[in-house]
Structure 1
Amino acid sequence: MRDPSIRRIHEAYVTGQRFAGGVPRDVISASWRRCLDAGIDPESHEAPLVYDEGVIGEIRSAHALSALLPMFRQTLLQVADETAQAMVITNAVGDVLWREGHRQVLRRADRIGLAEGFRWSEPAVGTNGIGTALATGRATHVYSAEHLARVLHEWSCTGAPVIDPDTGQILGCVDISGAADSLHPATVALVRAAARLAESDLTLRMRERDERLRSRHDATGPGALVTLSGRVIGGDLSLGPRVRLPESGERLLLSDGRVALIEPLGDGYRLCLTASRATSQLTLTVLGVHQPYAYLNGARIPLSLRHAEILTLLASHPRGLTAERLCCLLYGDGGNPVTIRAEIHRLRAQLDGAVAAKPYRLTCEVSGDFLEVRQALATGELAKAARLYQGPLLPRSEAPAIRRARDELEVRVRSEMLSRGSVEDLWAYAQTSTGQDDAEVHERLVTMLPDADQRHAAASARLDWIDD
């Protein structure tokens, strides 16, 4: 697609107009949608600085790709220099850790923040070879006006993610960037090959570490030898290729209900299987948080908003919910149970069988901040309720049942704090996102707190701000 055509498509897309002259490539249109939905301004001028010179060196030396820098230089740097481009290497969130190449290109790159310490993720600068490759997990080239930000229309960039063979997670991105007219058809293949070479090198290093771990520690007997990332490399391989290690504690609940004791080895762990079995433990954190999460047997699991909504409703209905009823609670009368079944399928895979079907229900022991607040209010433990209530239930949710539960819990907490709460309870509530703008709460605090108490002055100042 020729550059003038891309520019006309870009102009029509970002201004919401219709253009009959063509459409952007699928990867580009999907990226534009993500970036515009995230509030990226096409008129933005440069990437944000996240690391200054005082810390970038330490961050680079600690990154797994630092050992592969000679290979990247040998593979890409000469080509980048000869074709008036720059080689850029980032971490997993798009922060530039290394940048080398043609001097004139580097000077131009400084003007847009394509330099060490600046962030080039999609949420930071919009569609670009680095951020879009990280977002999609695939090698991606972005040419001229395919960039969402107009200031980048004179550039072309090709990025490829590097996957850690140990964890399966993205380690970073390797990229070649330069003037739009310097894009060579072979650039994508070259950058992709460099990323695959890096992964091959990392795989070899991982296998060498595994062999050293096996040689130092006995893996025989009823148990398994496990790497720091949870890969099973010896012993009872029936545990599967990987176990999810808890963030803390000495016990691990396996998917079949068995309990394993975790013995730290420094460079790995030994799992010692016991004869006991235990029920899974699921703990939900959904009060006042933008990103809800759960702990399953000690392992932290980030939750999407929809999955957090489902788990909150299932935790509130221990006898279970049909797909139709759950759909109504989440979407109202216009929902489709097929959507719920698909979400439950993904959730069950994420939670290792903690969700059963027909009806949908939780099969493990469940606790959660909102359940504990409800219980504390029911038993009159206001100090506990004030301590646990960190804000509204799933504040971003628009699901009808969650909105009702959120409003009900907020009203109950506020009412109890105002009518029977101590000054400490009321002060704790005043720090939440809803309590901090509540004039009645701060009026009560002003009357309850002595003038010499620093909280009296803070409550008075907040009350003046609310009244204004």
Structure 2
Amino acid sequence: MAEAPEPELLRDPESYARLLEHVRAAVLSGVPGPRPPRSVVSASWDRSLAAHVDPDEGEAPFVYDADDLAALREAHPLAPVLPVLRQMLVSIADDAEHVMIVTDAEGLILWREGAANQLVRADHVGLSEGTRWSESAIGTNAMGTTLATGEPVQIYSAEHLVRRYHTWTCAAAPVRDPETGVLLGSIDVSGPLRTVHPAMLSLVTATAQLAEGQLRAQLAVRDERLRRVNMPHLEALRGRPGALLSAGGRVLAAQACLLPATVDVRRGGGTVALPDGRLATVEPLAEGYLLRLRSGGSGGHRPRLRLEYLADGAGSTTVDGRDVPFTLRHAEILTLLALHPNGLSAERLALQLYGEAGNPVTVRAEIHRLRSQLGASVVQTRPYRLAAEVDADFVRARSALRSGSPSDVLRAFRGPLLPESEAPAIREERETLTAQVRQVALNSTDPAVLWSFWETACGADDFEVLDTLLKLLPAADPRRAAVSAHRARLA
């Protein structure tokens, strides 16, 4: 989380700037000062001094001229989102006498925009395209420090290690590749001291998040195109275990197997070992890869996880035939992971378990307890997923709804899914599954099918189910008397 400047900065910026001058001088002299610097600043000063940055005479190095810079800009991953950055920041920067800056991951300024008079002022201190603003090059500054820490940061006046930038304030936030998580660069807004504003850090952070959202949307479009183009390769496996991977190894589509969200692939493909020990062959395609799981590979024993959660009672969880005590929360997590074989992040799990108020930290703690109970070979991480052979009654019921007969559906469905659960995703799955099974039972002309549904808690007091049973059951069938008596009690 970003560490904000002290409240005194906003109350009296000029006095705060003078205080920071004294703090900096004391730290550099090794004598006690009026107060310590902020922790983010102190750590940055340590890194900068270790890199031999000169606090009094340092200046940003110029490393690329205009011709070389043009090629770097064109190839940089942030180039496609530059219009969004301009829309969000340039007009605000102009009004506030600031300059908007975009760097690469090494602190090289690729783009810079703002009012003409502010660009001239920025030129005087080397805030121009082609200069490098990493901490190792020019010391503590918002761009370099956000790249060093991976967190948004605001740097004010003498918090800059190098003296010539003490008349500036700046705020920056990092931008990451949504596919790999790799740092792509930073977005910065810099300006004179008098223009400091409490919202500037929030603004650049929101803009960086918007840029990442745009990159994520573009990635989704590419993924869908890749799936569409390469799906014939997966279909050619004719149901054998395999998957389509992106160029970075992300699983885009899988069949007949559980896989981690990302497979570690080498350029050119070859044999890869999955985290659970299974071996697979990765074949390069025109874009991305085709993964084939080897049959009878050296993955060793995979535990068998059996989940019986369609019941009017408590249900059961077993691993390799061994009953495992479980809490409702653990049953909810196992259900969601079984329904999402490619895995879920802590954030997604928190949303599905608790709704908008969900906290990923709580989920991580529950997963830790669940792994301790079931074993790391059953529940794996990054993302959270089930690595066991899963036999879940609710999954069987889903499959029967798609391709089975009404009697198959009712054999699989013995009651509501985790009836005591109030988790949003579980409640939705329970209601959807129950409604589908109910409709199958009502549409069936076989009284045995409808009787099976009536025997569950979902159908016991359902008037439409009772009335349909009375129509289907012959007068001499003893079950008809039981249904009639129950109907009369409800009325």
> What TM-score range do you get, normalising by the shorter chain?
0.5 to 0.7
In structure 2, C-alpha distance between the alignment counterparts of 1:114 and 1:150, rounded to whole Å: 15
Residue 24 (structure 2) pairs with residue 10 (structure 1): yes
Structure 2 Cα separation of the partners of residues 277 and 114 of structure 1: 57
Which of the residues 216, 219, 223 maps onto 2:242?
223
Find the residue that maps to 2:295 and give its secondary structure: strand
Unmatched 5+ residue regions in structure 2? 1-7, 9-15, 300-376, 378-491
Aligned equivalent of 1:121, options 126, 134, 141: 134
* Residues 332-355 of structure 1 deviation map (CA, whole Å, 9 limit, x = unaligned): xxxxxxxxxxxxxxxxxxxxx9xx
Tell whether the 8 Å contact from 1:159 to 1:173 is kept in structure 2 after alignment: yes
Which one of the candidate residues 156, 160, 165 is aligned to 2:173? 160
CA-CA distance at 1:248 after TM superposition: 5.0
Distance 1:85-1:258 versus aligned 2 partners, 3 A rule: same
1:242 aligns with 2:262: yes
Whole-angstrom distance in 2 between the partners of 1:43 and 1:266: 54
**Mapped partners of 2:249, 2:40: distance in 1:** 33
In 2, the alpha carbon distance for the partners of 1:66 and 1:244 equals: 27
Q: Which whole-Å CA distance do the structure 1 matches of 2:276 and 2:204 have between them?
A: 43
The one-letter code of the counterpart of 1:54 is: D
| Contact preservation (8 Å) 2:269, 2:289 | no
2: distance between equivalents of 1:142 and 1:251? 48
Residue 142 of structure 1 is matched in structure 2 by 155
Q: Give how far 1:34 is off.
A: 1.5
The partner residue of 2:271 within 223, 244, 251 is 251
Partner of 1:398: none
The answer for the alignment partner of 1:80 in structure 2 is 93
What are the superposed Cα offsets for residues 14-63 of structure 1, whole Å, 9 maximum, x if unpaired?
222221x1111111111111211222221233211222212111110111
Matched, 1:105 2:118: yes
Question: Gaps spanning 5+ residues in structure 1: where?
Answer: 280-352, 354-468
Whichever of the two has the greater Rg, that structure is 2
SS at match of 2:217: helix
SS in 2 for 1:275: coil
- CA RMSD in angstroms comes to 2.0
Name the stretch that deviates more: 268-277 or 85-94.
268-277
Q: Normalised by the size of structure 2, how large is the TM-score? A: 0.55
The answer to whether the 8 A contact 1:259-1:276 is kept is no
Q: Which residue of 2 aligns with 1:23?
A: 36
Matching residue within 268, 274, 279 for 2:294 = 274
**Secondary structure of 2:67's partner?**
helix
Q: Does 2:208 correspond to 1:195?
A: yes
Query: 1:55-454 to 2 correspondence within 5 Å?
Result: 55-218=68-231, 219-220=234-235, 221-235=240-254, 238-247=258-267, 250-275=270-295, 277=297
Name the residue aligned to 2:309: none
Kindly indicate whether the alpha-carbon contact (under 8 Å) linking 2:270 and 2:282 is maintained by their aligned counterparts in 1. Answer: yes
Post-superposition Cα deviations, 1:330-386, rounded to whole Å, max 9, x if no partner, equal xxxxxxxxxxxxxxxxxxxxxxx9xxxxxxxxxxxxxxxxxxxxxxxxxxxxxxxxx
1:69 is paired with a residue whose SS is helix
Distance in 2, Cα, partners of 1:163 & 1:35 = 23
**How far apart in 1 are the matches of 2:28 and 2:36?**
13
Partner of residue 51 from structure 1, selected from 64, 71, 78: 64
Q: SS at 2:123's partner residue?
A: helix
Structure 1 stretch displaced more, 216-225 or 263-272: 216-225
Deviation at 1:238, TM superposition (A): 2.2
Work out the CA distance in 2 between the residues paired with 1:171 and 1:110: 24
For the 8 Å contact 2:173–2:186, the answer to whether it is kept is: yes
Equivalent-residue separation in structure 2 for 1:225 and 1:248 (angstroms): 15
Q: Is this contact kept in 2: 1:46–1:111, CA < 8 A?
A: no
> For this pair of structures, how many residues does the alignment match?
280
Tell me the amino acid that sits aligned with residue 266 of structure 2: P
What is the CA-CA distance between 1:87 and the residue it aligns to? 0.4
For the 8 Å contact 2:269–2:281, the answer to whether it is kept is no
The AA in structure 2 aligned to 1:128 is: N
Counterpart Cα distance in 2 of 1:102 and 1:269: 47
Which 10-residue stretch deviates more, 91-100 or 38-47? Answer: 38-47
What corresponds to 1:434 in structure 2? none
Q: CA deviation at 1:259?
A: 2.6
Q: Bigger shift: 212-221 or 248-257?
A: 248-257
Residue number in structure 1 paired with 2:454: none
Q: Residue type of the partner of 1:11?
A: A
Tell me by how many angstroms 1:226 deviates: 0.9
Q: Residue type matched to 2:101 in 1?
A: V
Alpha-carbon distance between aligned partners in 2 of 1:213 and 1:61, rounded to the nearest angstrom: 23
Give me the whole-angstrom Cα distance separating, in 1, the residues matched to 2:96 and 2:54: 31
Query: Is contact 1:44-1:125 (8 Å) kept?
Result: no
| Counterpart amino acid of residue 271 in structure 1 | L
- The secondary structure found in structure 2 opposite 1:181 is helix
Secondary structure at 1:23's aligned position in 2?
Answer: coil
